[in-house]
Structure 1
Amino acid sequence: MSVASTPEAANGAADGRRPPGPDDGPGPDRGRQRRVLAPLALAQFICSFAGSNMNVMIQDISEDLDTTVQGVQTAITVFLLVMAALMIPGGILADRYGRKRCLVIGLAIYGVGALLSAAAPGLGVLILGNSILEGVGTALLIPPVYILTTLLFTEVTSRAKAFGTIMAFAGIGAAMGPLLGGLITSAISWRAAFVFQALVVAVIILLSRGLHDPLPADRERDFDTVGAVLSATGLVLVVVGILAADDNAWLMGAALLVGSLVLVAFFRWVRRRERSGAQPLLPTQLFRVRTSNLGLITQHTQWLMLMGVSFVVAAYLQVVRGYNAIDTGVIFTASTVGLLISSLGAERFAKRREQRTLIMAGFTVTVCGIGVLLAMAHGSPKAWTSTPGLLLIGLGLGLMLTPSVNVVQSSFSEDLQGEISGLSRSVSNLGSSVGTALAGTILVADPAIGPYRVALVVLAAVGLGGLWAAALLPRTRPTPPTPEHHS
């Protein structure tokens, strides 16, 4: 069900609360659509790029900052974890203070963090700049990207195309992170990769001046501080438990147990707030839509696989095979090409196949890609042996990223877009952090052929779980092509 088709959305358009979007009126303005999408897609690109480009800098950063591979892995995971923990509050703040304002503030914080990372004298400052400031900035800027897209693109076809573009940039950013990061690191320095991020952020801020916020900020909206602290603490402890699995069983068990108890306390707090008539951080009705719940599971699994495979393969190629940053980045070009091909075909696929079919096909192709990587692991040490598997993984992930987002976002009316956008992005980024933590836990102690294969087998098993969730999605008709009108 599209947001535009709900009573709430229709009333919002009729009573003047939502100014016309780029596809309202007698005919879609393609130039205006591109101007609206440009900053939103680039914002998603740079955040996804930041989540994966450090994978090819593992050796360079560890040597330059006198730390270890595990130290760099911690910085990567903390960045992803901060995003996951703060994404839900970020969605609420976007509604309270305005989507465009939070987007720009988030970009500014992100840019400062990137520059601080570029000048980092040690691991601690790198974690402050990259993991904390960039993570906080991302948590503020990403929910507005998805809220604005949902509210501005009201037609089913245009919204599918808009989400397709944004998810293409998300997947390409994650896949191109190793390539661009490798090129910049080899040509200049790993520090220059963070300067590149800051420059892109400056361009996005300039482009975002043309954006308008479809709905006014709700300054009277109550912010559930206790709920925000409980949800963030629970998520952090769960991932810390996964990170500790490789060398501290007691810490792992304690963190996972306490984290689970804190999350239980969070949901009890939410129900208590609702019963008292107060506004909770997340309304429980978000978890009562079966289709959305299954879509969230597929999103979590997709990003877990993407970031998990990226970390495993990058660490293996550098530590075991001895490839430098640029060699590793070039090898990852295969996954970038696959993501680009399938993501850019999202609109066409949506017209021909139901979303459930696309997500299932995506998981199937991705798991097959992991199988190819496993089959080639004992073969020739030449770089090309990783190419077929990475290409399949890119094709599979690009095929299912867009329909998974559309399934979730379109399950709720526009008055809940702040909450569902925050929850959706939190679940996806939690998948990214768990994927990196899980893969690193298996691999980082000794990334030789044995742990490499085990990590890939675990990621393939996770993919099969995502395929099972996708199979439970309800059958729907493919998105019908919408006739274009011209003024």
Structure 2
Amino acid sequence: MTEQKARTQARGVLLPLALAQFICSFAGSNMNVMINDMSEDLDTTVQGIQVAITIFLLVMAALMIPGGKLTDRYGRKRLFLLGLIIYGVGALISAVAPGLPVLILGNSILEGVGTALLIPPVYILTTMLFHDLGSRAKAFGAISAAGGVGSAAGPLIGGLITSAISWRAAFVFQALIIVVIALLSRSLKDPVPPDPTREFDVRGAVLSAGGLILIVMGILAADNSLWLMLVMMGAGALVLVGFFVSVRAKERSGHEPLLSLSLFRNRTSNLGMITQNAQWLMLLGFSFVVASFLQVVRGYNAIETGVIFTAATIGLLASSLAAGPLSKKFAQRTLIITGFALTVAGMLLGLWIVQGTQVAWAFAPGLLLTGLGVGLMLTPSVNVVQSSFPESKQGEISGLSRSVSNLGSSFGTAIAGTILVAGIASTPGQNYAISTIVLAAVGLIGIAAAIFIPRKIPTPIAEPAS
């Protein structure tokens, strides 16, 4: 009876957790269909909106590791609720933004900080509440499906709201969903009490965030100056080296660092995080490329662009919901490899069909196949990473895992956007083709990493109580 009650309670918390992942992923892609409307209303350019989107994704990536670590000290539910509040305030500020700077404050900064605080608890709580691989795969399947659908359906929902009301109403929609999540989270309980005595590595947090920010901003600077790009990326790499040196020094002195270096000694988890980074890079990058091409080159409005993305949403939802049952029949590695293969095939199919026709629905077959591929591999990649560590490491690995995924998202938007505006080719259509090929090549890297993931994930060894 007690075990059954625990299972019922665990299933009950899935809805607010899945909704939280949905709205954060939605925020990362829904602005893609508002590019023309927002740039005209805010008196900025397509590149200005791209910068706002990229900064949002970058803030998430840079602060996700500190956000995961803070859950140990202040508690998972407390951080989750605090993240909801900050996110909601940011959404409302974005809705009334008079110009690009205020939009960046509300959307890029506050919504990014809110997401970095509320997303690590989502994955930590799921790992702690669902113990066996089967039930955990189902739970992660629901959450990954919500996140994937949020990213894929973001253009459609955003397009509908923008066309029916205004792009500003899309941010009000986000704030309303946040209120719903907060109400559903009232019965949410933290399975492990917080430990206020836990150290927090401020220096490590600053170094890790600074390094990631410099690298992504360097990519954004590529279309202005190749030398500036190299300098910023080189500086970012040096700052990250300083971060790892700082972590090692703290561990040797007996203090608790932001991240334990032992997290990077787990080969299975490292491979899983490579696949996560590649997945989100491809998904967000391709979404930005297609949305930009449809609006800037083909002249489609927000709703027309959003409707075309329906094919990707259908594919992603179908394969995400099937990920749990499939995980019982196939190895996680097999699902990830198949997912990457389908995604690459979908991108190249879309490129091949679209280049020869002006018909809007020519995008549908490629987007459907891409959605199927991404949905198939999101859940097993999360499972591989989270299941590689005991409960005592869930705060750290959840923050690191989400940071790696969101870094992929910011890389995808930054790289694709930079290629589109850099004028590499003589026509915008050719730049679209180059962007797609680059993103597809990332899928080959994902396949290479997935091949080396073990067929059976080793059971993590719990650390002895201190």
**TM-score range relative to shorter protein:** over 0.9
Partner of 1:436: 413
Output the CA distance in 1 between the equivalents of 2:457 and 2:73. 36
Question: Does 2:439 align with 1:462?
Answer: no
Structure 2 residue corresponding to 1:328, chosen from 291, 305, 312: 305
Structure 2 residue corresponding to 1:267, chosen from 232, 244, 247: 244
Query: Which residue identity does 2:44 align to in structure 1?
Result: T
Structure 2 residue corresponding to 1:106, chosen from 64, 73, 83: 83
Partner of 1:285: 262
- Matched-pair contact (CA < 8 Å) for 2:10–2:129: no
Q: CA deviation at 1:155?
A: 2.5
Partner of 2:296: 319
Q: CA deviation at 1:25?
A: 3.8
Partner of 1:76: 53
Q: CA deviation at 1:377?
A: 2.7
Which runs of at least 4 in structure 1 moved beyond 4 Å after TM superposition? Answer: 28-31
Output the CA distance in 2 between the equivalents of 1:353 and 1:191. 44
Q: Map 1:173-188; keep pairs closer than 5 Å.
A: 173-188=150-165
Partner of 2:175: 198
Question: Does 2:359 align with 1:400?
Answer: no
CA deviation map 1:112-133 (0-9, x unaligned): 0000000000000000000000
Three-state SS of the structure 2 residue aligned to 1:212 is coil
Query: Which residue identity does 2:98 align to in structure 1?
Result: P
Partner of 1:341: 318
Structure 2 residue corresponding to 1:160, chosen from 119, 137, 142: 137
Partner of 1:135: 112
RMSD: 1.4
Q: CA deviation at 1:476?
A: 2.0
- Matched-pair contact (CA < 8 Å) for 1:224–1:280: yes
Partner of 1:12: none
Output the CA distance in 2 between the equivalents of 1:430 and 1:26. 38
Output the CA distance in 2 between the equivalents of 1:25 and 1:351. 26
Q: Which moved more, 1:157-166 or 1:126-135?
A: 157-166
Query: Which residue identity does 1:467 align to in structure 2?
Result: I
- Matched-pair contact (CA < 8 Å) for 1:350–1:478: no
Structure 2 residue corresponding to 1:450, chosen from 430, 453, 459: 430
Output the CA distance in 1 between the equivalents of 2:251 and 2:457. 36
Q: Map 1:20-419; keep pairs closer than 5 Å.
A: 25-27=2-4, 31-419=8-396
Output the CA distance in 1 between the equivalents of 2:384 and 2:12. 25
Query: Which residue identity does 1:241 align to in structure 2?
Result: G
| Structure 1, unaligned runs of 5 or more | 1-23, 480-487
| Structure 2, unaligned runs of 5 or more | 460-466
Q: CA deviation at 1:380?
A: 1.6
- Matched-pair contact (CA < 8 Å) for 2:388–2:458: no
Output the CA distance in 2 between the equivalents of 1:199 and 1:259. 37
Partner of 2:464: none
TM-score (norm 2): 0.96
CA deviation map 1:447-487 (0-9, x unaligned): 711100000000011110111000111122899xxxxxxxx
Output the CA distance in 1 between the equivalents of 2:211 and 2:381. 25
Distance 1:452 1:273, change over 3 A: same
Output the CA distance in 2 between the equivalents of 1:33 and 1:91. 21
Output the CA distance in 2 between the equivalents of 1:213 and 1:27. 18
Partner of 2:452: 472
Distance 1:123 1:346, change over 3 A: same
- Matched-pair contact (CA < 8 Å) for 1:86–1:232: yes
Output the CA distance in 1 between the equivalents of 2:410 and 2:349. 24
Query: Which residue identity does 2:390 align to in structure 1?
Result: S
Query: Which residue identity does 1:451 align to in structure 2?
Result: N
- Matched-pair contact (CA < 8 Å) for 1:81–1:239: yes
